[in-house]
Amino acid sequence: MIVVTGATGKLGTLVVEGLINQVPVEQIAVVVRDPAKAARFGELGVEVRTGDYSDPASLADAFHEGEKVLLISGSEVGQRVPQHKAVIDAAKAAGVALLAYTSILGGPAADFELAREHQITERYLIDSGIPYVLLRNGWYHENFTEAIGQNLANGGLLTSTAEGSGLATASRADFAAAAVAVLTGEGHDNAEYELSGDQVWTYEEFTAEVARAVGRDFPLNRVTPEVHRGILEGAGLPGVLVPILVGVDDAISRGLLSTQTGDLSRLIGRPTSSVAEAIAQGAKGL
């Protein structure tokens, strides 16, 4: 049995859909906080189990011996370490055969704040003794393209990255396909994959491509980290998020999110999708 946690999120949904196309549906289970949100998977024959990252007791029966599990990292920054530990503890107690975790590009070398919870989780998983796979995901195209409309309304793309700095992004579907390949394949025990796109793009290239796609100006508003922090605080973002977002831009400036190993395209057996394709999709109707 292959088990996917967080299966009703954007990435989890794509993973489950990919698994349905690869293996018999009766070999797939999902662990979700709200079973009603996974009803469509249940109707297809997927086993729906209840489990909440924040409620360790609810995970007691979420996993069974010999299963392969995908732990999709939680979205609640600041709470993810105890949440992830609860899942790992439950998986270990159940005797799962493999636990794959969606981590962050660079792993231990990612020296920015957003990576810290992933790094702690990685170490806890490795020390648990469970056969593991670290899927160190880079940034999604969609992190940027889903905000095109909002950025247009706000007068362009705000960034404190250095001029010419770039990212090696890929689509959320590409990362989901990598997870499916690991969960359905063999020989991945204790593997660590650095997953990123085949192409590196800069913010200058991104904004130019968006301008072409929407047929109007899409300014690149580059500011200093200090100004960036002030703008985000003035917009009312939660205080914990402001240094994280500014820290990500600093990491981009230092090339930490443009790393390319080819692991992603090798796992999925094809080139990764281009950011231009994602921009064209994100710009529809704008």
pTM: 0.96
CA 126 to chain centre: 20
Task: In whole angstroms, give the CA distance from residue 210 to residue 284.
Answer: 11
Return residue ranges of the chain for CATH 3.90.25.10.
Answer: 138-171+196-259+269-286
Amino acid at 263: D
CB of 275 closer than 8 Å to CB of 141: yes
CB 98 within 8 A of CB 133: yes
Question: What b/e sequence results for 271-282 when a residue is b if at least 16 CB atoms lie within 10 Å of its CB, and e otherwise?
Answer: ebbbbbebbebb
Contacts of 237 (CB under 8 A, 6+ apart): 245
CATH number of 2-137: 3.40.50.720
Q: What is the pLDDT of residue 285?
A: 82
For 39, the token pair is 């009803």
Helix (H) or strand (E) holding 135: strand 132-137
How far is 63 from 30, CA to CA, in rounded Å? 10
The tens place of each residue's pLDDT in the chain, 286 residues long, gives 999 999 999 999 999 999 999 999 999 999 999 999 999 999 999 999 999 999 999 999 999 999 999 999 998 888 999 999 999 999 999 999 999 999 999 999 999 999 999 999 999 999 999 999 999 999 999 999 999 999 999 999 999 999 999 999 999 999 999 999 999 999 999 999 999 999 999 999 999 999 999 999 999 999 999 999 999 999 998 888 999 999 999 999 999 999 999 999 999 999 999 999 999 999 998 8
Q: Which two tokens stand for residue 160?
A: 């404190």
Classify strands 132-137 and 191-195 as parallel, antiparallel or unpaired. Answer: parallel
Work out the number of other CB atoms within 10 angstroms of the CB of residue 34: 10
Q: Which CATH superfamily is domain 138-171+196-259+269-286 in?
A: UDP-galactose 4-epimerase, domain 1 (3.90.25.10)
Q: What is the largest distance, in Å, between two alpha-carbon atoms of the chain?
A: 56
DSSP 50-91: E-BTTBGGGGTTS--TT-EEEEPPPS-TTTHHHHHHHHHHHH
pLDDT value at position 6?
A: 95
How far apart CA 249 and CA 257 sit, in angstroms, is 10
Are 60 and 91 within 8 A, CB to CB?
no
From-to residues of CATH 3.40.50.720 in the chain: 2-137
